[in-house]
Chain A
Amino acid sequence: MTLTIEMLFPEIANLHGDNANIDYLARCLPDARVIRTGLNETPAFVSRKVDLVYLGPLTESGQIRAIARLAPHKSRIDELIQTGTHFLFTHNAMECLGSRIVNAEMKYDIPGVGIFDFSTEVGMFERYTGKVMGSFEGTSQPIVGYKSQFSMVSSSPEIPGFMATSRGIGRNPTTHVEGVRRENFVGTSLIGPVLLMNPHLTEWLLSSLVPSREPQLALSEFAVAAYDARLREFQDTKMWSEFERVTG
């Protein structure tokens, strides 16, 4: 069976090296087909079966463009999420699917695609950088990663998170809930890229995409060694700063 992975708008959604998530997935799934859908093209998921839809980090104007392209397909995205299609939205891509994005410095307040009922506040002079470690129900080992972002997502406790942080902040500094998880939709603000930094998460995703096959992790020796080294360090409380703690 050939899997189809759709990368949305790679000409604008390509910041912070995060598209390596898909390079890595393609190495793990050598027979998968990767479609790169341009901004002025209709997404493949609209009219055909796609196994994984990926959207990576965007600039602020890129978010606005992505919302404009995805909003007409809101009901289709909703349907695909409900029926178990896999989605991976990293960094600020997830924010496009919320109810609105407010950016006071750039003077806009725009509706998002409206799949999820959370809002995003963007502070152009308040860039947050921090580490994150926490648990994800699909894996027994902790997820690790980094945040470097202008935006904070509202707490919205009714929306299930991707992970619960044990160290580092979640959707914002007042919550341990990080990202969004609904069926096979995974949204996370973590960069790293998250699949390369968390080989067990990639294994979970591979198993979920192809349940009939034992997951084959590419470059596993390096990926696992890098993960183990980072985890050891992240488990040391001295490595965490005050601003990386959840408050309130």
Chain B
Amino acid sequence: MTEPTVPTPGKRHGPRYGLRALAALWLGKCAGTILRFLGREGTHVPGRIALWVYPNLLGVIARPDTVIVVTGTNGKTTTTNLLADALHTLGKRVSTNRAGSNLRDGIVATLINGVTVWGRCRSDVAVLEMDERSALRVLPQLAPDIVVCTNLTRDSIKRNAHPEYIAWILSSAISPATTLVLNSDDLITASLGSDANARHFFGVDPTGNEPREPGGSAVDAAICPRCDERLDWIFWRFNHIGRVRCPACDFRSPVADVRVSPIDRLSGLRSLTIDSGTVGIRLTNESVVNIYNVAAVAATLDVLNVAPQKIGSVVESLTPPTSRFAEETVGGVRLVRLLTKGLVGVAVSRAFADIVSVPGRKIVLLAIDETTDRFDGVENTAWTYDADYEYLADPSISAIYVGGIRRHDQALRLALAGVDSNRIVLVESETRGADLVPLGEVDVVFNLHSNHNAGPTGDVVHRKLRQRLMEKSS
């Protein structure tokens, strides 16, 4: 396989519009004003209109002195928001697509919003979330100063194929002049770009409790990229996230320039190590996913030459989303609603791991069959075998109620994963299980659903369970 052809960077510090580009800009601005007047924020429409008038607008529109693109499979939205907040706290004027689309149209809409009517830039820095598959349509023209990649793990089989494919797209689009901020604990992300790129790595140190053998069905970086030998894991966290070394050559995971340590039980602080300096930080969200996001923000601020002490105080002030759980306790039973990203096996695996991590006797209502997939496009249920249903074989789960059109497939997957057939209850309707689950001998009831059925299934199941628990307690 040959190295991808990388685009030539085109850094711009001032506007150089022709008449058509100005017309595109004005039309985009008009559309944005009208949409805001109608109460619609964050739409991609101004960008789409402007690009229709002048397809090269992304290449000529005035940009701030610093343009940062944030991409990756997971955490790009949160990292974009945290980074924009951090830079705002540091006194920068920030343009960001926080509320908008992360495709090319949305990015152009954000840049249009960030310039005056005469096209002069109004911000110091742009922090732009980018869908990783849009890289070839965005990066060559935008030529960002920094690209941050949070991670590249398996995503939709239909859209994203596999992480190596996404890495190829990104590397094909990244200019050698762009500085890369990369996750050192993700070998695929760490391989982005070429030798010409400046690279700054972030990582999260091992806790000491993590295994040294990978598990699960989605380990995408298992061999040495130099000699093909099976890699040894210094620690394994999830998917292919962890640190490795090759037993046959001197290859190993890159050393992180910015690292977050495990929590110190005495002080309650984590150490944020930046180059040779270390500061203590306290985080409001201690999930490992959030710690990686914070590490990515800290590494980016380090590239921007913010002092380590300042970085420490800024990242402490950030308020990331606290949890994907929505839970309440009714009649002494925890009722947990968990939205899963169906069609994406690794995301479903994380939800299953979350279930097992909760203590107590559990019952699960599972309605993650992607029925819309059948009608919106074309169905492909292979993702269920890319998800680690094995977590649900945990003895703390006394029953799994499976509803929906593909309930038999779900049951087959569960049984293959080692879930006792007697613990699998099939119910034709996605919501009927909520009427049937025994609530006597249980501490936690999980209501798992997907985006598409959040209303018709997730809401209904939650309501029914709450009602039954209230009746039981009274």
- Does A associate with B in a complex? yes
Chain A residue contacts of B386, Cβ below 8 A: 15-17
Instruction: Tell me the count of chain A residues lying within 8 A, CB to CB, of chain B.
Output: 49
**Which of chain A's residues 100-120 have a Cβ closer than 8 Å to chain B?**
103, 106-108
Confirm or deny: A226 has a beta carbon within 8 angstroms of a beta carbon on chain B: yes
Confirm or deny: A193 has a beta carbon within 8 angstroms of a beta carbon on chain B: yes
CA distance A23 to B417 in the complex (A): 9
Nearest CB on B from A43, distance (A): 14
Q: In the complex where A20-B416, A124-B165 touch, is A193 in contact with B382 (Cβ < 8 A)?
A: yes
Verify A14–B219 contact, CB threshold 8 A. Answer: yes
CA distance A107 to B387 in the complex (A): 33
Q: Name the segment of A44-52, A57-65, A154-162, A170-178 touching the other chain.
A: A57-65
Chain A residue contacts of B157, Cβ below 8 A: 15-16, 148, 191
Tally the A-B contacts, defined by beta carbons under 8 Å.
Answer: 119
Verify A191–B382 contact, CB threshold 8 A. Answer: yes
**Which of chain B's residues 72-99 have a Cβ closer than 8 Å to chain A?**
none
Confirm or deny: A24 has a beta carbon within 8 angstroms of a beta carbon on chain B: yes
Nearest CB on A from B404, distance (A): 11
Confirm or deny: A75 has a beta carbon within 8 angstroms of a beta carbon on chain B: no
Confirm or deny: B34 has a beta carbon within 8 angstroms of a beta carbon on chain A: no
**Which of chain A's residues 170-222 have a Cβ closer than 8 Å to chain B?**
191-193, 196, 219, 221-222
Confirm or deny: A121 has a beta carbon within 8 angstroms of a beta carbon on chain B: no
CB closest chain-B residue, reference A221 = B421
**Which of chain A's residues 120-170 have a Cβ closer than 8 Å to chain B?**
124, 127, 129-131, 146, 148, 150
Nearest CB on B from A16, distance (A): 5
Measured as residues with beta carbon below 8 angstroms from the partner, the interface class of chain B is 35 or more
CA distance A80 to B41 in the complex (A): 64
Chain A residue contacts of B415, Cβ below 8 A: 219, 222
Verify A129–B380 contact, CB threshold 8 A. Answer: yes
Verify B228–A241 contact, CB threshold 8 A. Answer: no
Chain B residue contacts of A130, Cβ below 8 A: 378
Q: In the complex where A40-B229, A131-B379 touch, is A106 in contact with B385 (Cβ < 8 A)?
A: no
Nearest CB on B from A36, distance (A): 10
CA distance A219 to B378 in the complex (A): 27
Most B CB within 10 A of own CB, among A17, A64, A223:
A17
Verify A106–B382 contact, CB threshold 8 A. Answer: no
CB closest chain-A residue, reference B163 = A59
Q: In the complex where A12-B223, A15-B162 touch, is A129 in contact with B416 (Cβ < 8 A)?
A: no
Verify A226–B382 contact, CB threshold 8 A. Answer: no
Confirm or deny: A38 has a beta carbon within 8 angstroms of a beta carbon on chain B: yes
Chain B residue contacts of A244, Cβ below 8 A: 378
Verify B385–A226 contact, CB threshold 8 A. Answer: no
Verify A14–B385 contact, CB threshold 8 A. Answer: no
Q: In the complex where A17-B386, A108-B2 touch, is A12 in contact with B222 (Cβ < 8 A)?
A: yes
Chain A residue contacts of B416, Cβ below 8 A: 20, 23-24, 27, 196, 219
Chain B residue contacts of A131, Cβ below 8 A: 378-379
Confirm or deny: A18 has a beta carbon within 8 angstroms of a beta carbon on chain B: yes
Residues of B within 8 A of A (CB): 1-2, 157-159, 161-162, 164-165, 168, 217, 219, 222-223, 227-230, 345, 374, 377-387, 405-406, 408-409, 411-412, 415-416, 421
Residues of A within 8 A of B (CB): 11-12, 14-20, 23-24, 27, 38-40, 59-61, 64-65, 103, 106-108, 124, 127, 129-131, 146, 148, 150, 191-193, 196, 219, 221-223, 225-226, 228-230, 233, 239, 241, 244
In the complex, 24 of the A-B residue pairs with CB atoms within 8 angstroms, ordered by the A residue number, are A14-B217, A16-B157, A17-B217, A17-B382, A19-B217, A39-B223, A39-B228, A40-B228, A40-B230, A59-B165, A60-B1, A64-B1, A106-B1, A106-B168, A107-B2, A108-B1, A131-B379, A191-B380, A222-B421, A225-B411, A226-B409, A230-B409, A239-B374, A244-B378
